């Protein structure tokens, strides 16, 4: 039984090993090595964040982050394979074979108000207690500690209760937390999508109040966040939540507004994201080029209808349109160029499926295969295995009809 912890209480709820499901067998061996060494040297050593959350939910964690009361310099001295990371050398990355990295940080406390006005970027941190460290985190289910000294779970923020009840809840006043760092809005939606948990009322309401603050975030950071959600296997639900909470315009500028206003285009986007999710969940790997082209396709399709200026290359116009949208998120230039190239080829492919007139020299273009893959996804609602997926759909549609046309012609001639 778990008691609900008062958020202001000094002492945490501690769940001893017999009362929870986290076994050392499911913890990464490198992470265990780091935890044990810190513990043997007399430091507190806790597994924290996504790893504890995912293990309690029976999922395989992506990474295993560790917090300790050892200072970065002390951590580094304990591990020959440790590297100080970050502007102020606040973290230590411990590197293992096969490019595996365990991130170790020292317990932190919230910086004094006004110490850092640089919203959406890393803040200046000072070291703190485990309790302060927990309260600095974003949502309750992400602030649980697994203590290697006795295998217990330490909970200062009622995260265990929220995990068992399926609730996404901001730690502290969500208004203040979103003002401090608006990316937390994104993270609330991300974790709601991944866990299928309900967003607690205040946490949800404050999103509407503060969503516009996403325009203050670093575009590069938002792009980084987006790449994680595109491969999460729940990008469809995540995007649906973004739409529901009205955050798309603050991230994608005019393109976000377009998706808000055109329900058909938004549905097309969600359907395609669903296709990507199924592919990812079945272990397929898709390039960022393809995923980004999918994201912008419904907008490109509509925009191309209106783009017709004599004598000007449509792809140039499309690129200009894409750049005009005042997106907060920074899509790197080469991705933007590829999104446009793919969109142009895809448009011709879909037309060719209607007319049977295909310019096959397009096959030599760099983004032909990306466009062919998306074309297949649009038609068959799954990611293709074929080498030239467009040729397959084209032949399916036209090979039969052409021979039919030819037979009809012969009959017609004979009747004359
Ligand atoms: P994932 O499975 O995506 O790695 P995660 O919860 O581990 O999920 P990370 O981005 O790896 O997410 O962050 C690690 C931990 O750091 C989080 O669990 C959370 O406790 C804390 N954290 C991350 N971003 C923020 C933020 N913007 N504000 C407060 N705490 C944060
Ligand atoms: Mg993580």
CA-based torsion, 55, 58, 59, 60: positive or negative: positive
- Residue 133 near ligand 1, beta carbon < 6 Å: no
Element (H, E) at 78: helix 72-78
pLDDT given at position 126: 84
Q: Is 190 in the pocket of ligand 1 (CB under 6 A)?
A: no
* Mean of pLDDT over the chain: 91
Question: Is 116 assigned a catalytic role?
Answer: no
- Which H or E run contains 230? helix 219-230
pLDDT tens-digit map of 384-394: 999 899 999 99
Give φ, ψ of 143 to 5 degrees.
-120, 25
DSSP-derived letter for residue 25 is G
Q: What is the pLDDT of residue 8?
A: 52
Q: In residues, how long is the chain?
A: 416
Q: Whose CA is nearest to atom 30 of ligand 1?
A: 137
Whose structure tokens read 């590829």? 338
> Which residue's CA is the closest to the ligand 1 atom numbered 9?
50
Which pLDDT band, with edges at 50, 70 and 90, does 120 fall under? very low
Q: CA–CA separation, 89 vs 82, rounded Å? A: 12
What is the share, in percent, of the chain residues with pLDDT greater than 90? 81
Instruction: Tell me which of 49 and 415 has the higher pLDDT.
Output: 49
Handedness of CA 399, 363, 334, 230 (dihedral sign): positive
At residue 232, the pLDDT reads 97
Name the catalytic one among 28, 54, 65, 147: 65
**Fold type of domain 218-416:** cca-adding enzyme, domain 2 (1.10.3090)
Q: What is the pLDDT of residue 313?
A: 79
Segment 71-88 shows an average pLDDT of 92
Whole-model pTM: value is 0.91
Binding site membership of 49 for ligand 1 (Cβ less than 6 Å): yes
**Which class would CATH give 1-165?**
alpha beta
**Nearest residue by C-alpha to atom 14 in ligand 1:** 49
Provide the 8-state DSSP code for 93: E
Does residue 277 have an active-site annotation? Answer: no
Cα–Cα distance list, 113 to 116, 133, 332 (Å): 8, 16, 33
Average pLDDT over residues 299-309: 87
* Domain residue spans of the chain: 1-165, 174-215, 218-416
Q: How far apart are the C-alpha atoms of 103 and 72, rounded to whole Å? A: 11
Separation of alpha carbons 226 and 230, rounded Å: 6
Determine whether 395 is an active site residue.
no
Which residue out of 47, 142, 203, 232 has the highest number of ligand 1 atoms within 8 Å of its CB and is therefore the one to mutate? 142
Mean pLDDT of 159-166: 98
The model's confidence at residue 110, banded by pLDDT at 50, 70 and 90, is confident
Rounded to 5°, angle at Cα 167 from 163 and 173? 115
pLDDT of residue 375: 97
Please identify which of the residues 28, 54, 133, 138 carries the catalytic annotation. Answer: 138
| CB environment 253-280: b (16+ within 10 A), e (fewer) | bebbebbbeeeebbebbbebbbbbbebb
């Amino acid at each position: 039984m778990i008691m609900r912890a008062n958020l202001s209480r000094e002492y945490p709820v501690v769940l001893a090993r017999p009362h929870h499901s986290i076994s050392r067998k499911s913890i990464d061996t490198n992470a265990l090595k780091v935890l044990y060494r810190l513990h043997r040297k007399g430091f507190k050593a806790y597994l924290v964040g996504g790893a504890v959350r995912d293990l309690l939910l029976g999922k395989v964690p992506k990474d295993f982050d560790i917090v300790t009361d050892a200072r970065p310099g002390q951590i580094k001295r304990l591990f020959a394979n440790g590297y100080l990371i970050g502007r102020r050398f606040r973290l230590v990355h411990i590197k293992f074979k096969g490019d595996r990295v365990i991130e170790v940080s020292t317990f932190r406390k919230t910086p004094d108000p006004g110490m850092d006005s640089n919203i959406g970027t890393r803040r200046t941190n000072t070291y703190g207690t485990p309790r302060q460290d927990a309260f600095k985190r974003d949502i309750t289910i992400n602030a649980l500690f697994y203590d290697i000294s006795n295998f217990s779970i330490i909970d200062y923020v009622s995260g265990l209760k929220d995990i068992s009840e399926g609730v996404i809840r901001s730690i502290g006043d969500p208004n203040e937390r979103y003002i401090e760092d608006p990316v937390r809005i994104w993270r609330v939606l991300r974790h709601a999508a991944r866990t299928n948990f309900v967003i607690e009322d205040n946490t949800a309401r404050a999103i509407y109040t503060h969503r516009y603050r996403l325009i203050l975030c670093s575009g590069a950071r938002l792009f980084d966040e987006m790449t994680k959600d595109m491969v999460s296997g729940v990008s469809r639900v995540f995007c649906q939540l973004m739409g529901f909470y009205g955050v798309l315009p603050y991230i994608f500028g005019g393109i976000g507004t377009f998706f808000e206003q055109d329900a058909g285009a938004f549905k097309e986007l969600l359907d395609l994201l669903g296709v990507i999710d199924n592919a990812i969940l079945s272990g397929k790997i898709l390039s960022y080029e393809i995923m980004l082209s999918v994201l912008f396709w419904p907008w490109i399709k509509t925009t191309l209808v209106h783009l017709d200026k004599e004598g000007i290359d449509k792809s140039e116009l499309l690129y200009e349109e894409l750049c005009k949208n005042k997106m907060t998120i920074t899509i790197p230039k080469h991705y933007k160029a590829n999104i446009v190239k793919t969109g142009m080829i895809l448009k011709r492919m879909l037309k060719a499926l209607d007319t049977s007139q295909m310019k096959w020299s397009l096959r030599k273009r760099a983004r032909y295969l990306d466009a062919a893959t998306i074309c297949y996804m649009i038609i068959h609602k799954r990611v293709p295995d074929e080498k030239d997926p467009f040729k397959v759909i084209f032949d399916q549609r036209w090979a039969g009809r052409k021979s039919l046309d030819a037979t009809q012609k012969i009959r017609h001639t004979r009747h004359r």
